[in-house]
Amino acid sequence: MKAVHTELHRSHDPQFFLVRGVVKRTTEQPERADRLLKGLKDGKHQLVEPTTFGQGPRARVHSPEYLSFLSEAWDAWTALGDSGPEMIGNIHPVRHAATYPTHIVGKLGWHTADTAAPIGRGTWAAVCAATDVAVTAAQMVLDGEDATYALCRPPGHHAYRDMAGGFCFLNNSAIAAAHLRQRHERVVILDVDVHHGNGTQGIFYARPDVYTISIHADPTAYYPFVWGYAHERGEGEGRGTNLNIPLAIGTGDEGYIQAMDVARKAIESFAPGALVIALGLDASEHDPLRGLAVTTPGFRRIGQAIAKMGLPTVFVQEGGYLSDILGANLTSVLAGFEEAR
């Protein structure tokens, strides 16, 4: 399996992370990519540089106002003259009878769901590079590759059509799926991150052509808290094309594989032409946030289960934070896929 990667991700190096009222260094650091690259090297995967696709693929998923905000935000922020080293919203209007703001502080609050997506000088360049990585991987599958892996950083599955959050700015998995839709009538996004893919769900919630499935830790006790429940099934024409499979905190290999079987049956019923895996490695027993407890051999079984779905597949990297086992878990899931294909 070929892997797409660019060093341009390094321009995004956020510092701020608010955890239960305590400010800490974020775990979404450039070092994450280094550990993932080590996993790719151990798996002997060929690295491919991304093609630059421009704004088109991003505009299929994200609103013009949001893309404009992200591209211009840093210059507007620094022009204030008394702003901090990162952009962190201090107002979140949640859109109740609200008017779209013209001031950068108002726009920052409008376009961020939480404080976990600080914007810095190099953020826009990095998020654009990440979408190019995802689209390149999707295009390679359209061109005949059976499966590809996109090492996207920053991640994307918490990003809505016009809102950042949870370390995410542009929704790489959604953008990859929309690119695959240029050829395939139906596409599935299967999110195996420990956190619910709330942004992905929001983007496709009323659409019948992209089935969004998320296996994640119980949102009653785990981020994002207000999305990710089993009763969320889609709306309008998209009713029935969203499936959430929340798992009890601490669920290990067996419970996770059972959830994968539920997802497989749903995917078979939908009969898609291609599959996007929003690959979170933070379901690991060694992840610093410890929501679930999948072992490294368990990730191999997840890869095997994905392979048996028999679809052209794009793996898009989502979560998986700084732990000694991160690279090994990536090696394991991709090896399991290749073994079972």
Q: What is the pLDDT of residue 114?
A: 96
> What are the angstrom distances between the C-alpha of 55 and each of 58, 62, 110, 177, 243?
5, 10, 22, 16, 30
The owner of tokens 């086992």 is: 325
What are the beta bridge partners of residue 23?
Answer: 18
C-alpha torsion sign, points 77, 79, 82, 84: positive
CA 222, CA 289: separation in Å to the nearest integer? Answer: 10
> Would 161 be classed as within a structural domain?
yes
Tens digits of per-residue pLDDT, 240-268? 999 999 999 999 999 999 999 999 999 99
Residue 168's closest CA among 195, 147, 139? 195
CA 184, CA 186: separation in Å to the nearest integer? Answer: 5
Q: Please determine, for residue 159, whether its predicted confidence score (pLDDT) is greater than 90.
A: yes
Domain hosting 247: range is 2-53+127-340
Whole-model pTM: value is: 0.98
Average pLDDT value for residue range 295-308: 98
Q: How many domains does the chain have?
A: 1
What are the beta bridge partners of residue 20?
Answer: none
> Would 310 be classed as within a structural domain?
yes
> Would 75 be classed as within a structural domain?
no
CATH number at residue 38: 3.40.800.20
Q: What is the pLDDT of residue 111?
A: 98
Average pLDDT value for residue range 141-167: 98
Phi, psi of 149 (to 5 degrees): -125, 135
Residue 327's identity, in one-letter code, is G
Residue 313, number of CB atoms within 10 A of its CB:
24
Contact 141, 30 (CB under 8 A): no
> Would 172 be classed as within a structural domain?
yes
DSSP assignment string, 4-16: E--GGGGG----E
**Residue 307 pLDDT level (bands cut at 50, 70, 90):** very high
Residues taking part in catalysis: 158
> Would 86 be classed as within a structural domain?
no
> Would 101 be classed as within a structural domain?
no
Average pLDDT value for residue range 24-39: 96
> Would 110 be classed as within a structural domain?
no
Contact 114, 166 (CB under 8 A): yes
CA 264, CA 279: separation in Å to the nearest integer? Answer: 16
Average pLDDT value for residue range 51-66: 98
Q: Please determine, for residue 180, whether its predicted confidence score (pLDDT) is greater than 90.
A: yes
Tens digits of per-residue pLDDT, 197-211? 999 999 999 999 999
Average pLDDT value for residue range 134-146: 98
Average pLDDT value for residue range 327-335: 98
> Would 243 be classed as within a structural domain?
yes
Q: What is the pLDDT of residue 289?
A: 84
**Residue 238 pLDDT level (bands cut at 50, 70, 90):** very high
Q: Please determine, for residue 312, whether its predicted confidence score (pLDDT) is greater than 90.
A: yes
Contact 151, 39 (CB under 8 A): no
